Structures are given as C-alpha cells and as structure tokens.
C-alpha cells in the first residue's frame, strides 16, 4: 500500500481538487493522510464533509496540536503511515491519474529505495503551462548537491529500504531538499522516471516563487545542513543556479 502524505495549511481553495486527484488514481491500494496544521481556515470542515460524502475510508484526517510547519506535518504523516511506500503530495499540486501506478512499477523494476518523476509547471487553476521539467535517470548525493531537480510532490520511498527514521524532515527552510541530501548521503541512489506525471501549481506569490529567498535557502543548506566551506558552497551554488534558471525559462 502507498501512504500519501499531504500537509494541509490554508489551502481551502485547492484541497478538494487534491483529494480528487488521489481518488482518481489507477492504483487503488493507497491511504491518504491529510495532516492539518492549524491553518484556521475552512479546510477541516471541507475535508470532513468530503469524507462523509464520498464514504472513502482510505482518507484519514490528522490534526496537529499547534502550527508546526510542513516538515513536522510530513513527519507526523510518516509516523502514522500504514503503507510500505510513502509518497508526498503538496496540497496545491495535482497528480495525473496513473502517477502512483507508473511510479510504483518503476520502483519495483529498478528495485529502488527512492524514486522521483518529471513534472509540469501549472497556473493558479492547475492548468499546465507546457513547461515540463525532465529528470535524470539517477541522482547520487554528489550529483544532487548541484541539481535540485527532485520535486517533493513527485517522490516515492520504500520504507523497507529507507527506514522511517531516515525519512524525518529537518526543521529548516527547504526541508525537502535537505531530506533528499540526507538520504542520498547514506549511499542510496535516487532513480528518475522521466515522465510528466505531476502538475506543480505556482499561484501568485508563493515562497518558492520568491527567487531571492530561494537562493538564500539553498545557500544556507550548503553552509549549515552540509557544513560546506564558503568556496565549496559557491562552487555547488553556481551549478544549482544555472539548472534552476533552465527549469523556469
């Protein structure tokens, strides 16, 4: 079974679409863990009504005791997960119906612990812009330091090969990238399925669309999470910047 983990925070305009895209999956052996992070909007009521109307017992609502951020919401989901496989889905992103089925088959084919897929940028309404991000066949730790192609909503892990403790996201900005590096640092290789199976919605002004903030976060990861020198950080940062621009142009 695949445990799909979704941090929920002030996404009442998107959460129904997100739940719908999971329920439309051609792979039906999943559970959906919606971790509500005290957003104070109408998400809890929307989710409860959706669960009641659909009668889908595969959907579970988990509520955080206080606002703790996306990393802790995902960690809570991992702790509560019943499935062997873990997949992350951000609450404003969307999956193609065959995403889980194709990725699970790919993971088994490669006997992989960690896989990720290609994706397409989408507008605020979830419509693809035609800008598709292609992914490499594999990424090692050293390669990933220069290439942050792995997008959170595309990943899947096999918890029999990557223990749940290793999947704990650190409490820092760009926690997802920090997690990928932490896992790959152990010698695990990430396998890329170069198929467009995800819509990455970029509404208005989001954290990820703030370029200066994104640069600051990546720099801090090199310096603090990885403990690199200024020169080594600058070396890897140049590669990251070039690839980041190419993905968005």
How far is the CA of 126 from the CAs of 21, 83, 96, 130, in angstroms? 11, 28, 12, 12
Indicate whether 206 pLDDT > 60.
no
* Range with the poorest average pLDDT among 88-92, 197-201, 227-231: 227-231
Residue 222 lies in a domain: no
Average pLDDT score over residue span 51-69 = 97
Indicate whether 165 pLDDT > 60.
yes
Indicate whether 56 pLDDT > 50.
yes
Report residue 68 CA to chain centroid gap.
Answer: 17
**Secondary structure element (H or E) that encloses residue 3, with its range:** strand 2-8
Mean pLDDT, the chain, rounded, equals 91
Indicate whether 176 pLDDT > 90.
yes
What is the pLDDT at residue 181? Answer: 95
Residue 216 lies in a domain: no
Residue 80 lies in a domain: yes
Domain that holds residue 35: 2-204
Indicate whether 204 pLDDT > 70.
no
Indicate whether 207 pLDDT > 60.
no
Average pLDDT score over residue span 10-23 = 97
Q: Strands, DSSP E only, in 64-213?
A: 85-88, 94-95, 114-122, 128-133, 138-139, 156-158, 190-201
Number of domains observed in the structure of the chain: 1
Indicate whether 241 pLDDT > 80.
no
Query: Which tokens hold the place of 4?
Result: 């799909």
How far is the CA of 92 from the CAs of 138, 167, 227, 230, in angstroms? 27, 22, 33, 35
Indicate the pLDDT class of residue 198, thresholds 50, 70 and 90: very high
Indicate whether 17 pLDDT > 90.
yes
What is the pLDDT at residue 217? Answer: 79
Which residues make Cβ contacts (< 8 Å) with residue 226, sequence separation at least 6? 145, 181
Indicate whether 249 pLDDT > 60.
no
> Phi-psi category of 69—alpha, beta or left, where left has phi over 0 and alpha has psi -120 to 50?
left
What backbone phi and psi angles, to 5 degrees, belong to 19?
-65, -40
Q: How do residues 118-164 score in pLDDT, each as one tens digit?
A: 999 999 999 999 999 999 999 999 999 988 789 999 999 999 999 99
Spatial distance between the Cα atoms of 143 and 163, rounded to a whole number of angstroms: 22
Residue 50 lies in a domain: yes
How far is the CA of 216 from the CAs of 117, 125, 132, 183, in angstroms? 26, 29, 25, 22
What is the pLDDT at residue 135? Answer: 96
CA-wise closest residue to 176 among 214, 232, 209, 233: 214
* Range with the poorest average pLDDT among 2-11, 126-135, 212-221: 212-221
Residue 230 lies in a domain: no
Contact between 90 and 153 under an 8 Å Cβ cutoff? The reply is yes
Q: What percent of the chain has pLDDT over 70?
A: 94
CATH number where 129 lies: 3.90.550.10
Residue 75 lies in a domain: yes
* Range with the poorest average pLDDT among 72-81, 83-92, 169-178: 169-178
Residue 225 lies in a domain: no
Spatial distance between the Cα atoms of 120 and 110, rounded to a whole number of angstroms: 24
Residue 144 lies in a domain: yes
pTM metric for this prediction: 0.90
Which residues, listed in sequence order, are joined to residue 133 by a DSSP beta bridge?
119
């Amino acid at each position: 079974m695949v445990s799909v983990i979704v941090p929920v925070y002030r996404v009442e305009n998107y959460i129904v679409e997100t739940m719908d895209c999971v329920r439309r999956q051609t792979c039906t052996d999943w559970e959906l863990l919606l971790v509500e992070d005290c957003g104070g909007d109408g998400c809890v009521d929307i989710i409860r009504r959706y669960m009641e109307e659909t009668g889908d017992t595969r959907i579970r609502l988990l509520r955080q005791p206080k606002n703790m951020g996306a990393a802790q919401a995902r960690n809570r989901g991992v702790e509560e997960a019943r499935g062997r496989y873990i997949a992350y889905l951000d609450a404003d992103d969307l999956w193609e119906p065959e995403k889980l089925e194709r990725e699970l088959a790919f993971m088994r084919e490669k006997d992989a612990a960690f896989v990720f897929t290609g994706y397409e940028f989408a507008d605020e309404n979830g419509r693809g812009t035609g800008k598709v991000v292609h992914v490499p066949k594999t990424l090692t730790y050293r390669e990933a330091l220069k290439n942050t192609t792995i997008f959170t909503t595309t990943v899947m892990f096999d918890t029999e090969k990557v223990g749940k403790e290793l999947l704990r996201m650190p409490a820092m900005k760009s926690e997802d990238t920090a997690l990928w590096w932490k896992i790959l640092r152990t010698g695990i290789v990430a396998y890329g399925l170069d198929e467009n199976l995800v819509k990455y919605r970029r509404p208005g002004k989001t954290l990820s669309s703030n370029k200066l903030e994104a640069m600051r976060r990546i720099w801090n990861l090199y310096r603090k999470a990885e403990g690199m020198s200024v020169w080594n950080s600058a070396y890897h940062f140049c590669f990251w910047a070039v690839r980041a621009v190419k993905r968005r142009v």
